[in-house]
Structure formats: structure tokens, C-alpha cells
Amino acid sequence: MGDRLNRFSLTDRVAVVTGASDGIGKAIALGLAEAGAHVVVCSRREEKLKEVKAGIEKLGRRSEVFVLDIRKIRDIEGLRDFILERFGKVDILVNNAGFASTKPAWDVTEEEWNLMTDTGFKGLFFCCQIIGSIMREHGYGKIINLSSTFSRSIVPNRAVYAAIKAGISHLTEALALEWAPHGIRVNALGPTAVLTPSRAEILKGDFLKKILNRIPLGRLATPEDLMDAAIYLSSPASDFVTGHTLFVDGGWVAAS
């Protein structure tokens, strides 16, 4: 049994997590470190990243901070150079950074459209391409993209966000097909509503009741739920898994 559990170990793997300053990204970064990985944490908020770095180092792992605006290709290229300089390789990339505007489709502005697509789709693709190029050189890697249940089943006022997440799941399949010969596995995580500090004001009252009524297991997702799934998709235990969106949703998609 011990040898089997070792298949989930990430000892001495190098991971990169975007959008790692709080919420899901922070939880995944800490979870990967707990499983043995060294982690480069990235976002635009340096002070928050330093807190995550300190938490990782308390677990006995190495961590580096890289301030990144994922909308800028030059920043992603800088991240690639930083990884090569500090670690010489990368085994795991978690594309968590994103932005959501919750409003009727009639009211979405061009500025909001650009912010959502540039952060959540353009930035994600070029992270896959640029950071994935390091994996290609080594013949192995795990890429995890953050999709959503909204890629398959939606609610009102999330039209653009849902379209981006559907695109992420489809892109995940396409990259998995293209990059399998290079030993790169590409998968996505599709959470339902996740109880994080930034969502606490939204996920309450009648809206919360409506969400819970659509989740057969009767609760919201937690960051830890995503953490555990990310460890699996990052580990050797999932080496024969690629091109999938793993819904961590309490049955939301099945019920829909």
C-alpha cells in the first residue's frame, strides 16, 4: 500500500501556480507543497504572494515569488526565464488566474470583455505554450487549467465567463492531443461554486439556496476539494489521464 500511495507524491517536483495570491490558487499552491513540490507562486499582488511563499516554506519546501500580469506575453516570457534560472525545469503548471464579471450579457462592456478574455483565455493559452516549452525539452509535464461547471451548465449573468470556461475545456483537449508525443499531460479542473473569502459576500441568502439546490451533495466546494484534485492530476497516479475536465462539483453537471 505504501508504494501505491507514493504514486501521489510530488517530492522534488517544480510547480508553477498562477493566480496564487488567494482563494483556489493559494490552496492549490499549498497543497502541492504539502505533497512535496517546490512552488513558484505568481499573480499581480506581491505582498499576498509573500504570505503564500511563507506558508510553503513552513512546510519545508522551496518557494519563489514572481509578480505576473498574465495578460502580457512579455511577463510570461519573463516567468519562463525566471524558472529556468532558479530551477532549470518545471514539472507542473496550474493555470488558475482569471477574472469574472457577473452581469447580464446586455450590459457587458468591451473593457470587461477584454479583461475576462485576456486574463482567463489568452493568458492561459500563452502560459501553456511558453511554460510548456520547458516541459517539452524534458519530455514530461502536467498542465492543469481551471475550467468550471459553467463550461457545461450555466446560470444567468455569466455568459462571457461561461464561454471562456467552455473554451478552456475544449482547448485542454486540443493541447492534450498535440502535446502527448512530448510527454505533456493537459487536464482541467471544473469546480462548482467555491467557498472562498472573495466569494463570501455573493454566496449567501437566496442565491446560495439556489446554488445548493442544484448540487446533489448539498454543499459548496471548498479550496481543499480543488487542492486534492490538483494533487492527483499533478502526480504520477494520473500519468495515463490527459484531455479531461475533472468536475469537482458535488454532482452539479450530472444533475443538470
Q: Which domains does the chain have, with CATH numbers?
A: 2-248 (3.40.50.720)
143 beta partners: 93, 186
- CB-neighbour burial class of residue 65 (10 A; exposed 0-12, middle 13-18, buried 19+): buried
Residue 253 has pLDDT above 90, yes or no: yes
Which pLDDT belongs to residue 149?
Answer: 95
Cα(136)–Cα(206) distance, integer angstroms: 48
Q: What is the DSSP string of 120-147?
A: IIIHHHHHHHHHHHHHHHHT-EEEEEE-
Of 179, 178, 176, 172, whose CA–CA distance to 139 is shortest? Answer: 179
C-alpha cell recorded at residue 26: 493559494
How far apart, in whole angstroms, are the C-alpha atoms of residue 229 and residue 24? Answer: 12
What confidence tier does 198 reach under pLDDT thresholds 50, 70, 90?
A: low
User: Band of the pLDDT at 71, cuts 50, 70, 90?
Assistant: very high
Alpha-helical runs (H) found in 23-158: 23-34, 46-58, 73-86, 110-117, 123-138
Structural contact between residues 190 and 245, judged by C-beta atoms closer than 8 angstroms: yes
Residue 253: which residues within 8 A CB-CB, separation 6 or more? 149, 152, 153, 190, 247
Residue keyed to cell 467555491: 194
pLDDT at 256: 80
pLDDT range class, residue 101, cuts 50, 70, 90: confident
Compute and round to an integer the Cα radius of gyration of the chain. 17
For the residues 154-182, what does the mean pLDDT come to? 96
User: Is the per-residue pLDDT at 153 higher than 80?
Assistant: yes
pLDDT the model gives residue 200? 65
Exposure string over 193-207, b if 16+ CB within 10 A, otherwise e: bbebeeeeeeeeeee
Cα–Cα dist 255/218, whole Å: 12
Q: Do 215 and 251 contact (CB within 8 A), yes or no?
A: yes
107-116, pLDDT tens digit by residue?
999 999 999 9
pLDDT per residue over 224-244, tens digit each? 999 999 999 999 999 999 999
Residues labelled catalytic: 161
